[in-house]
Amino acid sequence: MAAALSNGTDREDEPAGRAPLPAEATWLRSIMADPRGGAMRRRLSIGIVRRLRALSGSADTVSGETTEALCNRLLVRASPAMWLACAAEILRRFTVADDAGKRTFLMLLAERYNADAERLTRAIERYRDDPAPERLAELHAASEPRRQQLLRRLNEAPDGTALLLAMRGALLEANRAMPGFSALDSDFAHLFAAWFNGGFLELRSLDWSAPGAVLARLMHYEAVHPIESWEALRARLEPADRRCYGFFHPRMGHEPLIFVEVALTAGIPTRIADLLAPERAPMDPEQADTAVFYSISNCQRALRGIPFGGPLIKQVMDLLRRELPSLRRAVTLSPMPGFAAWLRGQEAGDTELPGALERPDWHQDAALARRVQAPLMQAAARYLTTATGRAMDPVARFHLGNGARIEQLDWLGDLSGKGLGQSHGMMVNYLYDPARIDGNLNAFARDGTVMASEQVRRLAASPAPARLFGRVFGRE
């Protein structure tokens, strides 16, 4: 292994210190990437060393071995104390390594710990001779890359789960041309899908009385509508008509994996400002008929592709229905982050771009807004119902993939700079109908069928102007 992932140990008498809030709030992911997180890295490393020294001298046994030798130890029979000592030492070295050292370790996993080729060949031949269930089980076991067993052993060490997230985070930041990148990433995703499934995670209701460490993380991880201050956070958590729920892993303390913010309303809202206005008057939750999921934030980039957003929404819906029988529907108030870029691509053949939409105050010109509204609503409906694959809106893909349907489009629903820039102010409500979720989900997964209300379908089917922007702005 490279010197960057050496077998040296940090001094225990170094001050633990406390990292600045951004490093603390992003926890291990930022600790690995943020140069200001050195104190936290030292503290984490020192903690692992202390645990090692409690393992009946095993730490002294493994401290002089190469990282590859430690990995090999994890693949053979040994005492639990020795396995744990090897795993903890590997994780300690990864924690303190620089970017080059981390990449070197990931390349070791990718190149040296694939499936045992000889064992796999024997299993294939045995299955061909006797295709019994037992032979199939042997074939399945032989085809598993050995690094999956390594990762399972590492997960058993103190702080192992969090540090494996840091490993995949480092992998995702690496060059995808790295030999074995896709296979190694698939192994991480395969294991994480089991370790972070919705039935295993802890659902917590989060309010203003939650621990400060959790509140700080909510502020940091909010990815849809930024929370600029503690007072703004309080306005989202304290009122009686607001709820917040998050999934937590039992081995990761106060670190959220994903959380959803909910507003209880009368009717389906069409403007995000109405939900977030600091001067608004809270309503009696008993009078609400709609639960609005207005912000869903994934907190761990290393868990990309792990499907626990759907289980979170379903569990929250069940909780709210039990708490408030008056609720008739569950909807979102969602952004359309890819709409403006998609629309520019649709008009790529025109010589004149819609300069008026680039004005930051175009929406304040009432006459112009009236001319723009109909064609942009039509375009938004087509975007949501016809774009597929990588061109599909990522928020739409998430909600449609979890069984929702497109309910209605919201004209000028988000007038923030971000909302105007990414979607010309458009927002959309997705409806979660418990009676139809499974059917919608299966149709979308089977053949990409997009479920939408009749209103949205009519908009999408409206004849498109020959030159949308030329007609709107009188540039024929």
Percent over 90 (pLDDT), the chain: 69
DSSP label at residue 452: B
Per residue in 226-238, pLDDT tens? 999 999 999 999 9
Query: For residues 426 and 334, is the Cβ–Cβ distance under 8 A?
Result: no
Report d(CA 349, CA 352) in Å as an integer.
Answer: 9
Query: For residues 33 and 132, is the Cβ–Cβ distance under 8 A?
Result: no
Q: Report the pLDDT averaged over residues 406-433.
A: 96
pLDDT of residue 193 exceeding 80, the answer is: yes
CA 428 to chain centre: 21
Per residue in 84-105, pLDDT tens? 999 999 999 999 999 999 999 9
Domain borders along the chain are 3-195, 202-332, 335-472
Q: Which of 36-40, 205-209, 299-303, 439-443 has the lowest mean pLDDT?
A: 36-40
Q: What confidence score (pLDDT) does residue 356 get? A: 66
> Please, which residues bridge with residue 260 across strands?
245, 296
Per residue in 332-371, pLDDT tens? 999 999 999 988 887 654 433 356 677 778 999 998 888 8
Cα-Cα-Cα-Cα torsion 264, 269, 273, 275, nearest 10 degrees, comes to: 0
Q: Report the pLDDT averaged over residues 230-254.
A: 96
For residue 143, give every residue at least 6 positions away whose Cβ sits within 8 Å of its Cβ, in sequence order, or none: 115, 120, 123
pLDDT of residue 125 exceeding 60, the answer is: yes
CATH 3.40.190.10 applies to domain 202-332:
no
> Please, which residues bridge with residue 247 across strands?
203, 258
Q: Indicate the average pLDDT of the chain.
A: 85
289 band by pLDDT with thresholds 50, 70 and 90: very high
Between 463 and 288, the more confident residue is: 288
Look at residue 395 and give its three-state secondary structure. Answer: helix
Q: What confidence score (pLDDT) does residue 62 get? A: 77
The fold adopted by the segment(s) 3-195 is: Butyryl-CoA Dehydrogenase, subunit A; domain 3 (1.20.140)
Q: What confidence score (pLDDT) does residue 6 get? A: 42
202-332 shares its CATH topology with 335-472: yes
Class of domain 335-472: alpha beta
Between 401 and 56, the more confident residue is: 401
Report d(CA 184, CA 172) in Å as an integer.
Answer: 10
> How big is the chain, counted in residues?
476
Residue of 273, 376, 380 whose CA lies nearest to 333? 273
> Please, which residues bridge with residue 261 across strands?
244, 295
DSSP track, 168-221: HHHHHHS-TTSTTHHHHHHHHHHHHHHHT-TTTSEEEE--TTS-HHHHHHHHHH
Report d(CA 8, CA 10) in Å as an integer.
Answer: 7
| Tokens coding 184 | 């190694």
CA 150 to chain centre: 25
pTM, whole model, 2 decimals?
0.81
